[in-house]
Structure 1
């Protein structure tokens, strides 16, 4: 019977050590603010995180649409002209986006302005007489923005593009 008592000794020592660590952690907590809000049922402020998450999700969807527009317009130009609408390319935009397609003298542009947030987006495909050039930009929505063939509007930044 003495052998049966030995396996319980390590369990008791482990339990005592864990209890001591737990007690030390409770007494030496650096900040109890998070625990207080959990204990009182107060909700932490997640609005900034939610807004950032929504912006990143929106940006991902916009990037997909810009890439599809660019590929579609590259193909359409091969057949003679740029498509005048997203529907002609077989594309649709989310209802949360303001969409405008421009076709002017060898340049086609897709302007996307989300209904929420401050970002706006531009996809541009142009023919410079020898080759097709493409450009994706991101900037601040608001005032009328002047676009030039081959470069982002003033104050906007180019976006990375995958190969067509």
Structure 2
């Protein structure tokens, strides 16, 4: 969407402002769970009761998206986690061939927004959000990652 603003100053100055556009993202319930190892199929997926995607082990939530054109985009996820061994969850975001963020650590266990900017190619892309540092010891600790929302906006 383009918005043209003209001001009647100094003989009429016109400028073009690009308005931000949201990219259509499938609901989290349509993301596919890709565990990082065989046998991890039940350790990730969408929880309709909590309305979030859960990662009880390392793996990825993957969805296909369509970007209207190449350009700079803001990618925002809402995430939370459980801490284990004094360490919070780490995640990676990729879109198509672009690594948006290679490794980012949650800043707390509570649900929070994390935003990143990246130059992305237009067209059909695979969006992948991966949990990187699972830790578990029965009856002692269990680090998990939870994805609550995803938004991509053209800058």
Is TM-score (shorter-chain normalized) higher than 0.5? no
Highest RCO, 1 vs 2 (Cα 8 Å, sep ≥ 6) = 2
Higher strand share: 2
Q: Which has the higher helix share?
A: 1
User: Scaled by the length of structure 1, what TM-score is found?
Assistant: 0.26
Of the two, which has the highest radius of gyration? Answer: 1
Normalised by the size of structure 2, how large is the TM-score?
0.27
